[in-house]
Amino acid sequence: MATGYDFDFEGPRPIPDVRTLVNSAIDTGGAAPFINYEGEWRSWRWLRNYRQALDQHAASIGMEPGHAVALVARNHPDHVAAMAAQTAGGRLTSMVYSAQSASRIAAEVEQAAAPLVLASKQDWTPELFGIVERQGGLGLALA
């Protein structure tokens, strides 16, 4: 079969899904460096522990793969870990950008209707608390 490329094509090979790839990386990384923030390295083991903690919270409210999580994203390792943990758990991540007003953040979280909301301490305003409470969800403060 001509492919238009200069290599032999051996046929289709199964490609692991993203969830499998992320879990494999998290589970095998161990003490190796994962992410550096402000001069401090965090390991893959740190990420694995983070994933386990978030998985426990998600399970406590009956979340399953395919359910959405709202993440008010910031440039911080905890937010990277939260995103990786949601991908590893097969949960969808609805990204809410923190560089907007508190009322806009609350409106986007309300629209996402996610049972789990992850946000930095400074993003937990009365408006955001109110939305999560009205929707009967679980809110967790990230660093």
pLDDT tens readout for residues 78-118: 999 999 999 999 999 999 999 999 999 999 999 999 999 99
Handedness of CA 141, 63, 54, 113 (dihedral sign): negative
The percentage of the chain sitting over the pLDDT mark of 70, rounded to a whole number, equals 90
* Best CA proximity match to 110, nearest among 89, 80, 134, 77: 134
Pairwise CA distance, residues 2 & 104, whole Å:
53
Residue 16 has pLDDT above 90, yes or no: no
Mean pLDDT for the stretch of residues 19-28:
94
pLDDT score, position 87: 95
Pairwise CA distance, residues 70 & 142, whole Å:
12
Pairwise CA distance, residues 11 & 77, whole Å:
39
